[in-house]
Amino acid sequence: MSTARTEPTVTVVSVPPADVDADLLALPVFGGDDLAQDVGGLSAASGGELARARASGEFRPKPRETLLVRAVGDGWRPPRVLHVAARTGAPDPAAPLREAAAVAARTASRLHVGRLAFVCRGNVDPVRAAQAAAEGLVLGCFEDRRYKSDREDPTLRQCIVVADEAADADLPAAAARGRTLGAAANVARELAGEPSNVLTPRVFADRAAALVGEAGVGVEILDEEAIRSLRMELLLGVARGSSEPPRLLVMRHEPPHAKESPVLALVGKGVTFDTGGISIKPAEGMERMKEDMSGGAAVVGALRAIGQLRAPCRVIGLVPMTENMPGGRATKPGDILTGASGTTVEVTNTDAEGRLILADALWYARELGATHLVDVATLTGACIVALGHVSSGLFGRPAAWVDAVRGAGERAGESLWPLPVGEEYRELLRSEMADLNNVGGRPGGASSAAAFLEAFAGDLPWTHIDIAGTAWDDKGREDRAKGATGVMARTLAGLALDPGAW
Ligand code: BES
Ligand code: ZN
Ligand code: ZN
C-alpha cells in the first residue's frame, strides 16, 4: 500500500520576499491594517490587483481566507502571491503562522505547485516562527488518498521558509525540527486513518515498530503469551472476543548520558476497532471506531520524533493493541477480571474497554521505572459532549504536572482543557463484587473514566488526555484535510524535547 505521507523538503532563506525563487509565495496577513501594508512593493507588482481586491472587499482578513494574485511587475521573482489571512490576538503568536502555513500548503497542493515559499511575518521569535511555519507546511501537505486508484503523486516537493533577514539564530535547525514534528503528526494520521481490516493489532505493532525503529528507538512487541505471563487480564479480557490476538508495544528512547530520571511514560489506547463488544454499539457511525487507536498512533508518532530529534530525557512508549469484538468467548457484562496490578474489575459495560487496557499498561509503565505518566485515548463520548471537537480533555495530578502538559499543548497549538478527576469521581465506580466497576454512569462520564485510570497510576504524577472529540475531523478546514488529525503527537514530543519545563 502506498503512503499518505508526502512531506516536502523544507529549507530556510533570509532574503526579501520579492527575491525568493519559488513558484508561489505565501504571505500571512494579520488583519485589515496589515493588509494595507505594501510588502516589498507588491501593490505595484500585482498591477493594482491587490488594491482592487482590498477596496472591493473581495479579500477580507478573515482567518484562513486567501487571495491569489499574479505578480506581473518587474522586480518580483515569484510569479504568484497567495495572501493568507492569519488570526490576530492568539495567545501564542506562533499559532497563526502555523495555521497560515498549512493553508498555504493545502492551496499550493491544489494548484499543483512544485515550490512554495512562506514568509514568516508578524511579531514572533524567529526560531519559533521558523519551526511553526515548517510544521504548518508539512501538516498542510497531508491528504490521505492511499486507497484512491486515481491518485497522483503530489507536485509540492519543496517548501521554503522565508525568515526575518536580521535573525542570526539557527533557523535551519528550527525548520528541521518543525518538519520532523509535522511529520510525526502525519505518521499518526496515516495510522489512524487505516481501516481496521488492514490495521489489525499485529499489523499496527509491526508498522509502529518499523516507524520508531528507523528513528533509533528501542522496540519490543509483546505477544499474547508474553501479555499472559504479565497477567494482564484486563487487556486479555478485551481481546477475548476477537480472533485477532492482542499486542503490547513497548518503545524505549534511551539517550546516551541521559540522567536516570525523569523517565517519561507515554501510554496510548490502541483499540484497532471498537464494536463495543457484547455491549454492542449502534450500527450508525460505527465505522468511525477504526479511529479508536488514535491515542496509540499519537504515541508512536511522538516516539518517532523523539528519537529523530534526540530528546534529552528517557521516554517509554506503551501501546496496548487489541480489537473490541463480540465473539463467542468475549467478556460479558458482569464478568470480573483481575488486572496485572492485582486490582479486580467488574465489567458492567464491555464498551468501556479503553480504560481496561490502559489500566494494565499504566501499571506496566510503573514497573518499567516511569517517573511521570501521560496517557492519551479516544476514551469517552462524554468528553465530546463536554468539549466538542475543539479541545482535548485534560485530567490529572498534581497541578504542576497537569500545567506542564497543558503548556506543551499550547506551544504545539493543540488545545487541552482541564476537567476534574479524583476521589469523588472514583466513588462512582463502586462495585458490589469487585474493587472497581468499569463504568460510573452517564453524568460526569469523562471524569469517572479518568478516575478509573487514576487508580492504576500509583503515586506518580499522571495526566490523562481524552481525544475522543479531537482525533478525527469529519468536516476538514482550509488548513486541514478531513480525517485523522494526529492530535497530541506533537504535544507529547514537545514534552519530551523540553524536560526543563517540568
Ligand atoms: N471508543 C469509545 C469512545 C469514543 C466515542 C471515541 C466516540 C470516539 C468517538 C469508548 O470505548 C466508549 O465506547 N466509551 C463509552 C463508555 C461508556 C460505555 C461508559 C462511551 O463513551 O459511550
Ligand atoms: Zn468502547
Ligand atoms: Zn473505545
315, 412 Cβ separation under 8 angstroms? no
Give the whole-angstrom CA distance, residue 102 versus residue 477.
10
259 assigned to active site: no
pLDDT of residue 78: 93
Contact yes or no for 398/459 (Cβ under 8 A) = no
Quote the ligand 3 centre to 264 CA distance (angstroms).
24
Pocket of ligand 1 (CB under 6 A): 274, 292, 349, 351-354, 378-382, 439, 445, 468
- Residue 221 φ/ψ, nearest 5 degrees: -110, 115
Ligand 3 centroid–CA 351 distance in Å is: 7
User: Biggest alpha carbon distance in the chain?
Assistant: 81
pLDDT tens for 179-210 read 999 999 999 999 999 999 999 999 999 999 99
- Percent of the chain topping pLDDT 70: 99
Contact predicate 129/162, CB 8 Å = no
**Which pLDDT tens digit goes with each residue over 264-313?**
999 999 999 999 999 999 999 999 999 999 999 999 999 999 999 999 99
Amino acid found at 135: E
CA atoms within 13 A on the CB side of 251: 35
Cis peptide before 398 (omega within 30 of 0): yes
Q: Is 148 a catalytic residue?
A: no
- The ligand 1 atom nearest the CA atom of 445: 19
pLDDT in tens, 146-159: 999 999 888 999 99
* All three cell numbers of 491: 504535544
Q: Which three cell numbers stand for residue 196?
A: 481496521
Atom of ligand 1 nearest to the CA of 471: 8
Q: Give nearest CA residue, ligand 1 atom 3.
A: 380
Confidence of residue 61 (pLDDT cuts 50, 70, 90): confident
Choose, from 355, 366, 480, 490, the residue flagged as catalytic: 355
Residues around the ion ligand 3 (C-beta < 5 A): 271, 274, 292, 354
Buried b (16+ CB within 10 A) or exposed e, 382-391: bbbebbeeeb
| Nearest ligand 1 atom, CA 440 | 19
Nearest protein Cα to ligand 1, atom 16 = 352
150 by DSSP, 3-state: which? coil
Calculate how far, in angstroms, residue 166's C-alpha sits from the geometric centre of ligand 1: 51
Ligand 1 mutation target, pool 279, 380, 425, 487, most atoms within 8 A of CB: 380
- Out of 145, 157, 281, 477, pick the active-site residue: 281
Strands 24-29 and 115-119 turn out to be parallel
CA pseudo-torsion sign 445, 450, 453, 454: negative
CA distance 272 to 230: 22
Pairing verdict, β 472-473 and 483-484:
antiparallel
Mean pLDDT of 402-417: 98
